[in-house]
Homo-oligomer: A and B are copies of this chain.
Amino acid sequence: MNNVCAYSKADLLALKSKLELEYAAYQARNLKLDMSRGKPASTQLDLSNDILTSTLTTYTTDDKTDTRNYGGLVGITEARKLFSDLLDIPVEKIIVGGNSSLNMMYDNMIRHMLFGTHGCTPWSKLDKVRFLCPAPGYDRHFAICEELGIEMINVPMTSNGPDMDFVEQACAADDSIKGIWCVPLYSNPQGICYSDETVDRLAKMKAAPDFRIFWDNAYGVHHIFAERKLKDIFKACEEAGNPNRPYYFFSTSKITFPGAGIALLATSTDNLEEVKKHMGIQTIGYDKINQLRTVNFLKNAENVRAHMRKQAKELKPKFNVVLETLDRELTGSGLAEWEKPDGGYFVAVDTLDGCAKATVKLAKEAGVTMTGAGATFPYKKDPRDRNIRIAPTYPTYEELKVAIELFCLCVKLAGVNKLLETAE
């Protein structure tokens, strides 16, 4: 954002008039569009409709488990193997669970709160528990911490992941920091991929013995423009002598059907024994028939990748129209900046400081719903009031095209208004 200073007051006033005219024209169109929802479009879901119509010709797994009956806490072998191949995680580290990885994260937090891990004090018995929250980030991670009374510390994001100088210093100095939320590939909302160095530093850094990385690889195979790779967090942590540090989460929610897929929790075998001990009190087992259905549809890792290329084909035009419009309307304006994601579900735009709420409000008043400003930060408080999450997947291409154009206009109008406050 270099050339903000280039505007004179007269320039700004002229620009404001022009933008307001354009804005009024949008308002007259009575739009009703939504770029807030991080969920797949119907066309993406259609790619998995075979799940609905395929019949199960057997209910028995390769190891002779009757999936119709009780048992099988860690999930059916076929599902564990599929995830193992797809994500390059040893089978013995994997539990395949129910329909929601968020639920597995929440339950994992609860276990640390109530029972602690490997003899450490349960977090609920400590005076203070703090979590590192790379921000902007995923609102539902932050909501878990807020609900549990865990104090959240904003960690600045860089284009290589969380600011590791900040993270290392914080953890070295403060034993009450018990974890970090990470979406390491195509982060929500910026689409940032963690560099190898970031992974290594997370694995190696000094931290409390029960410091845990919640590695939510939600978009692990959700490539769009390029297939970015992620360094193996398990190997890195094992090599660093911290094998119990990471909990890895994944699901098929944005591969097949959100909420009707299967989720994964993977961790060291020591941690897994502990998880199983508590999970075995919570449930007799997850839905093995849905696991079988999902595996029958997805078949194998290569087929999942092929399926995700179909998803990418659906998403490319939508991400392109967002990115091209941002580029055309805002590059060089000095009023916004953003990362170009190679995959995932979002584009995040930083407006001028203090302009996010105003931008979202302007968009709303012209009929376009954005994710609430601040939603991507702990406690819903964006300290610079500048980050806005764009979710291009759910609207149609035509809706999105209009919505993103209006959005850019709102960014400019809010920016110009802000600049006018101090212009001389």
Give A residues with C-beta under 8 Å from B: 39-40, 42, 45, 48-49, 51-56, 59, 66-72, 98-100, 102-103, 106-107, 110, 113-115, 124, 140, 143-144, 147-148, 253, 257-260, 278, 281-290
Contact = CB atoms under 8 A, between A and B. Distances in A.
Given A52-B55, A290-B290, 7 more contacts: A69-B257, A98-B287, A100-B283, A100-B285, A106-B281, A114-B148, A259-B289
B147 A67 contact: no
A98 B104 CA distance: 13
Contacts of A67: 257, 260
B114 A110 contact: yes
A290 B106 contact: no
Given A282-B103, A283-B100, A290-B260, A68 B53 contact: no
Contact of A259 (B40, B148, B259, B285): B285
A289 B98 contact: no
Q: Max chain B CB contacts within 10 Å: which of A49, A52, A113? A: A52
A84 to B, nearest CB: 22
Nearest to A277: B147
A258 B106 contact: no
13 contacts: A45-B68, A52-B56, A52-B59, A68-B257, A70-B259, A100-B285, A106-B282, A106-B283, A115-B147, A257-B289, A259-B287, A259-B288, A287-B287
A278 B285 CA distance: 22
Contacts of A71: 259
A3 B114 CA distance: 51
B69 A40 contact: yes
A297 to B, nearest CB: 12
B69 A39 contact: yes
A102 B147 contact: no
A298 B69 CA distance: 18
A136 to B, nearest CB: 19
